């Protein structure tokens, strides 16, 4: 089914992935500050309410206890029975309250009513020993559809100093209107100021964050104000301590970038200089060929033109090889047999060695020498080492390519019987376009630089030793790969 233009237009556009969206440091810090505040504020209100109720209960509970004491003084024993001496007017005074309803009840140990409200809620309070009769206990319950708070206490009534006392239960209760009003006033006194303080606090937090992050904005402006070619370190004199590690890391990156750019500039300048010679030779030989009418002279000029073209082609190929070596991805390394690769490369150089009358030898063990490597880059490495050895070795001498395995390490050696290398020049022979002094061997000066770059990408160590005569290049690769690693032939 073909999608019509209108349907295609109605498809939603791809949105930016969540992980790629920019995060605001200001917003994240603000979130981490506000989130706890918003969680703690309701908790603060709840705790304030509970504390306010507890505070409001204290004075009114004390008043209830005082009423119990007054009622206990109105109980007398008449004809062996406990009776209340409260008159109706005293009861009205006891119950008098502008906001709350007051209830009371007097009963004996068998819960027989002596005086007060008959429908008073029953209590689970048990009579205790005489030394505990003065304890008062408070509880919440409901009466006539309203919640009340009751104070209850057992009191011992003695008719004479020698006679045992009779225990009675006195309970006084009241509704919660005054308590609620006092608790609300306390809460208002505590909570309402928070509605003023909280916005002020948020404003101060906002200003503090803005002020605290100001050095980041200043640093951003300083970096943006820089010229595109300014790679000098950022001065860290007035930068806060928390940002200093970031600035130090940025300065280190600038140093590496400056070094990389300087190396690239030098490389481009050297490459341009090196290209001049073959290009100038090609131009000169072509001009000579155009001037001459003699076929022999024209032929000679064309031969030189071909040599200059070959030299320029070799230089360009070396530059491309160096660029490939620098951009080698270590994930491209696979298990391979270095001995087999050495056999293939050595066979390619046999014709050139024969033409130069140089004995090119190959020494490899009978068993495979496995390693993790990029076969294309290692072929380039061996090619450059053999090419370098053949260039600096005279006729009737020998060059040996050797593969060994030492302590689970693959080792590659190229030994020649050439002119040797001055020990003072060994640290410089791997530099780009470096040429050994006082020799007339043609070359680009890039071969050993390519060897070093490929070896570094493989984590290998390079050693240069003096042979007698000649030079020995030894490259030691890391440990051999485990057996279950996929080899290069299978991968390709």
Q: What is the largest CA-CA distance in the chain?
A: 166
- State pLDDT tens for residues 184-243: 888 888 878 878 888 888 888 888 888 888 888 888 888 888 888 888 888 877 777 777
Q: Any bridge partners for residue 479, and if so which?
A: 409
Query: Which uninterrupted H or E stretch holds 409?
Result: strand 409-416
- Per-chain mean pLDDT for the chain: 80
pLDDT digits (tens, 9 = 90+) for 285-344: 787 777 777 788 777 778 777 777 776 776 677 677 666 666 666 657 888 999 999 999
How far apart (Å, rounded) are the C-alpha atoms in residues 473 and 382? Answer: 11
Q: Give the integer Cα–Cα distance in Å for 358 and 162.
A: 139
Rounded to whole angstroms, how far apart are CA atoms 139 and 148?
Answer: 9
Give pLDDT, residue 157.
78
Query: Domains (ranges, CATH) in the chain?
Result: 24-217 (no CATH), 244-320 (1.10.287.130), 331-491 (3.30.565.10)
Adjacent-strand bridge partners of 476:
411, 461
Percent of the chain whose predicted confidence (pLDDT) is above 90: 16
Predicted pLDDT at 404? 92
Structure-token pair, residue 151:
């104070």
- Listed in sequence order, the residues at least 6 apart from 199 whose beta carbon sits closer than 8 Å to its beta carbon are none
Long-range CB contacts for residues 18-23, cutoff 8 Å, separation at least 24: none
pLDDT digits (tens, 9 = 90+) for 346-380: 999 999 999 999 999 999 998 999 999 988 889 88
């Amino acid at each position: 089914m073909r999608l019509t233009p209108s349907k295609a237009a109605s498809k939603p556009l791809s949105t930016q992935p969540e992980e790629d969206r920019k995060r605001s440091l200001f917003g994240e810090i603000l979130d981490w500050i506000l989130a706890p505040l918003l969680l703690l504020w309701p908790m603060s209100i709840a705790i304030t309410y509970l504390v306010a109720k507890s505070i409001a209960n204290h004075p009114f509970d004390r008043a209830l206890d005082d009423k119990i004491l007054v009622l206990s003084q109105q109980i007398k024993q008449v004809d062996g029975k406990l009776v209340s001496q409260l008159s109706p007017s005293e009861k009205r005074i006891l119950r008098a309250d502008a906001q709350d309803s007051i209830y009371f009840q007097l009963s004996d140990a068998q819960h027989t009513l002596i005086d007060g409200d008959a429908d008073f809620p029953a209590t689970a309070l048990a009579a205790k020993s005489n030394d505990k009769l003065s304890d008062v206990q408070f509880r919440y319950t409901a009466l006539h559809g309203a919640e009340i708070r009751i104070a209850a206490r057992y009191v011992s009534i003695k008719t004479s100093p020698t006679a045992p006392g009779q225990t009675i239960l006195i309970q006084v209760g009241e509704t919660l209107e005054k308590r609620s009003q006092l608790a609300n006033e306390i809460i208002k006194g505590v909570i309402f100021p928070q509605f003023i303080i909280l916005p002020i606090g948020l404003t101060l937090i906002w200003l503090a964050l803005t002020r605290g992050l100001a050095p980041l904005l200043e640093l951003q402006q300083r970096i943006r104000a820089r010229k595109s070619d300014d790679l000098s370190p950022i001065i860290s004199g007035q930068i806060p301590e928390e940002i200093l590690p970031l600035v130090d890391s940025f300065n280190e990156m600038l140093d590496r970038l400056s070094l990389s750019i300087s190396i690239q500039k030098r490389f481009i300048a050297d490459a341009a200089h090196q290209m001049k010679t073959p290009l100038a030779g090609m131009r000169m030989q072509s001009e000579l060929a155009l001037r001459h009418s003699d076929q022999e002279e024209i032929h000679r000029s064309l031969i030189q033109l071909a040599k200059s073209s070959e030299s320029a082609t070799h230089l360009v190929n070396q530059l491309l090889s160096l660029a490939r070596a620098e951009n080698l991805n270590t994930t491209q390394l696979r298990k391979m047999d270095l001995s087999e690769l050495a056999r293939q490369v050595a066979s390619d150089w046999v014709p050139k060695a024969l033409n130069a009358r140089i004995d090119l030898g190959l020494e490899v063990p009978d068993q495979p020498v496995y390693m993790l490597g990029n076969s294309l880059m290692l072929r380039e490495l061996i090619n450059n080492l053999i090419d370098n050895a053949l260039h600096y070795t005279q006729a009737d001498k020998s060059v040996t390519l050797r593969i060994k395995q030492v302590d689970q390490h693959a080792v590659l050696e190229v030994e020649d019987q050439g002119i040797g290398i001055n020990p003072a020049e060994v640290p410089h022979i791997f530099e780009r376009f470096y040429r050994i002094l006082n020799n007339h061997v043609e070359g680009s000066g890039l071969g050993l630089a390519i060897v070093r770059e490929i070896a570094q990408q493989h984590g290998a160590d390079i050693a240069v030793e003096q042979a007698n005569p000649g030079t020995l290049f030894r490259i030691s690769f890391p440990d051999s790969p485990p057996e279950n690693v996929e080899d290069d032939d299978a991968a390709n």
